[in-house]
Structure 1
C-alpha cells in the first residue's frame, strides 16, 4: 500500500506531519488538494535528508500556537474582543469553491461584512478587486494594491489588482 493509500487515522501525529510536508512540497504550486498537472525541471523541492530538521523547525515555530478548525463565524465569535486582530483570507469572489466544494458560498460575503461591522477588535482581509467586493464591503477602509502572480516553471507573470479591507486606517 502506497503512502497516499494509508489511512491518516492509523498514523502518528509526526507521521501525518511528515506526509503533509511531503505532499505539500511535491504538489504543483504547493497545492495539496485539487492539484493540476505541472512539471518542474529542477527535481522538486523535497529532500528526504532535510525532513527531520524541517519538522523540528516547524515544531519550534508553532510551539504554543493554538490551531482551530472552526467555521469563520464561530472563530470570530470565540475570539473577538478589543485588542484582537483578525486576518481573513476567504476565497476570492467568483472562486468560492477553491477551498472545497460548498465550503464557502457567495452569500457569505454579505454575512461576513455584517459580522465584521460589529467587531470589537480589528480585522484585515484580502480579496480580489471586483465591483461586487467594493460594494459588499463599502463601509470599511479599502486599499487597492497591485500584485504579481507566477507559477514556477511557466515563466509567466500575471498582474492583478487586489484589495486590502480593514476596519481601521493604516495610519491609526
Structure 2
C-alpha cells in the first residue's frame, strides 16, 4: 500500500501500539480518534467485524479481509450459536451488507464464505495480504536471502525447525 499509493494517509487501529512499517497514524481501537478517522475515511479495511452501530459514510468503500481459512463452521453453517448475542446471525448478516468487497485466499474459501455469510457481493480471490511476501518472493534469489536471514541450510528443502521458535 505504501509503495503503490504514497499519497494516501494510512490509519491503523489496534488495542495497543504496534511497530508497523511506514508512517501510518496509529489509533487505539474504540477511542475518539478511532471514530473520527472511521467517519472521514474513504476506505475501510478490516479482518474482523466492525461494530453494528457504525454507519458507513456515503462514498466509503469497505474491504473485508476476514481472518483465516474457514476450516470450521461459520455463521449460517452453524446449527447452534453459542454467543452472548441471541441475534448473532441476524446482526452478522446486517453487518456484512456493508461490505463492498470480501477477500478470499482461494476458491474453496470463496464458496464457503458465500454460503456461510450469505454473501453475494464482490469476492476478491487473490490470497491474504499477510501471505503476499511468501507468494511474491518465490524466486531462487529471495528464497536464498530468506534462508540466510533465518539461518536455514541453503541446500535443503522441506520442513525446517525455525531457530527462532525452537526451544
TM bracket, shorter-chain basis: 0.3 to 0.5
Scaled by the length of structure 2, what TM-score is found? 0.34
- Structure showing greater relative contact order (alpha-carbon pairs closer than 8 Å, 6 or more residues apart): 1
Report the structure, 1 or 2, having the larger helix content.
Answer: 1
